[in-house]
Each structure stands twice: as structure tokens, then as C-alpha cells.
Amino acid sequence: AQSVSQHNHHVILSEAASLELGCNYSYGGTVNLFWYVQYPGQHLQLLLKYFSGDPLVKGIKGFEAEFIKSKFSFNLRKPSVQWSDTAEYFCAVRKNGGGNKLTFGTGTQLKVEL
């Protein structure tokens, strides 16, 4: 079965620190990859997505992610976090031909301290 792993469950950073959140998936076929963010008390919002082409994807709010096919990874990065980035981050994978279903990781809770 396809699975998505986010190994960092809780991350605490100071403002201006750099961020990298890990995401690995287990499916070997063609996949589309997503990162969603959920701010406290809100619904999920799309940060960025990868379908094909340049493996370095830039999203909103200064986030980027790199698809490394050989490592089945799609890590999220931000050079300098802000207090307002405090949220939960979810990696998700869509398998081509899978009925447009998304499989989510368990999420990473990020807290940015002033």
C-alpha cells in the first residue's frame, strides 16, 4: 500500500532559522506531490505542488520543495521562518491513475518562537 512518511512530528524553531521538513513516499510509479499547510483553527491550504519538470518547486510565502525521485522524497524548505509560519504541515501524494485520491502524511507541527 502506498504510504507517506513525515518523520518530524514536532519542530520548534526561532524566527529567522532555516526550515526543512522531510517527506518520503513508498509508491514506485508516477506520482504528483503536494504540501499543504493548516494554520491553527483553519482548513488546509495548498502551499505548493509538483507534477513534472523542474524538481525544485516554489510555492507561496517563500516555501519551496525539492523532488528527489531516487530517494522518493519531497522535502519542504524555507530559508528564514517567521512567527506566522507556526502551523501544521502535511505532505500528500497522488498516484497517477488512482482516481485523484490524495494520501497524506501524519503531519509536522511547526512552532516558531520569537
Partner 1 sequence: NAGVTQTPKFQVLKTGQSMTLQCAQDMNHEYMSWYRQDPGMGLRLIHYSVGAGITDQGEVPNGYNVSRSTTEDFPLRLLSAAPSQTSVYFCASSYDRYGYTFGSGTRLTVV
Shortest distance, CB of residue 110 to partner 1, whole angstroms? 15
Our CB check for partner 1 shows the closer of 81 and 92 to be: 92
Write out the binding residues for partner 1, residues 9-28 only, by CB under 8 A: 9
Our CB check for partner 1 shows the closer of 28 and 97 to be: 97
Q: How many amino acids of this chain bind partner 1 (CB under 8 A)?
A: 25
Spell out, one character per residue from 34 to 73, where the chain touches partner 1: x when CB under 8 A holds, - when not.
Answer: x-x-----xxxxx--x-x----------------------
- φ, ψ of residue 59 to 5 degrees: the values are -120, -160
Our CB check for partner 1 shows the closer of 75 and 103 to be: 103
Residue 113 CB-density burial (10 A; 0-12 exposed, 13-18 middle, 19+ buried)? exposed
Pairing of strands 73-78, 19-21: antiparallel
Beta bridge partners, 102, equal 94
Name residues whose C-beta falls within 8 Å of residue 16's C-beta, 6 or more positions apart in sequence. Answer: 80, 81
Site residues, partner 1 (CB under 8 A)? 4, 6, 9, 32, 34, 36, 42-46, 49, 51, 90, 92, 94, 99-107
